Amino acid sequence: MSQTLRCIGMGMNMIFARNATPTLTMLILTFIVMLTPAWASQCNLTWHNVVILQDGALTLDDGQRLFKVKQNGQLYFGAHKVQLNTAQQQALVKYHQTLTKDLPYQLSHSQLIDDELCQRVVKRQIQETEIQSLIPALKTWKSVTVY
């Protein structure tokens, strides 16, 4: 089951008008500032699968398979250790570090979707794409899609 959330961030738009009267320029800037939320940067998030951080390890559950990623980048499928090369293990170390920071941030902000969360999720999605290409066992793994 996927849940779609909309991320709306605040931005500042500025217009510089040449040869305009100060009153007109101020009026234009006031109008733009009033409309800024409607023009704000956006990202749409669709959450997939289950990620659990417990006792320093990540559990990745896609509903059919259960993987565990330890802090050192070691991957387990059930109780079985998956043999990884250095590049694969380093990708999982970075992913573990990212999620170790991101999951508490997400939980502490409840359902608030802000620019920082959008940036964190984009970074996570890039890492998941790398993991999909490097590790055959995780070729379909994703926790989020950013639109």
Whether the pLDDT of residue 132 is over 90: the answer is yes
Q: Report pLDDT for 115.
A: 87
Q: Report pLDDT for 143.
A: 93
pLDDT-based confidence at residue 138 (cuts at 50, 70, 90)? very high
CA pair distance 85, 30, nearest whole angstrom: 57
Q: What's the pTM value of the predicted model, to 2 decimals?
A: 0.70
Summarised one tens digit per residue, pLDDT across range 75-101 is 999 899 999 999 999 999 999 999 999
- Locate 92 and state its tokens: 């999982």
Domain boundaries, given as residue ranges, for the chain: 3-42, 46-146
Q: Cα dihedral sign for 74, 75, 80, 83?
A: negative
Summarised one tens digit per residue, pLDDT across range 94-120 is 999 999 999 888 888 767 788 888 899
Please give the order of strands across the beta sheet that includes 42-47: 3-8, 42-47, 144-146
Residue type, 35: L
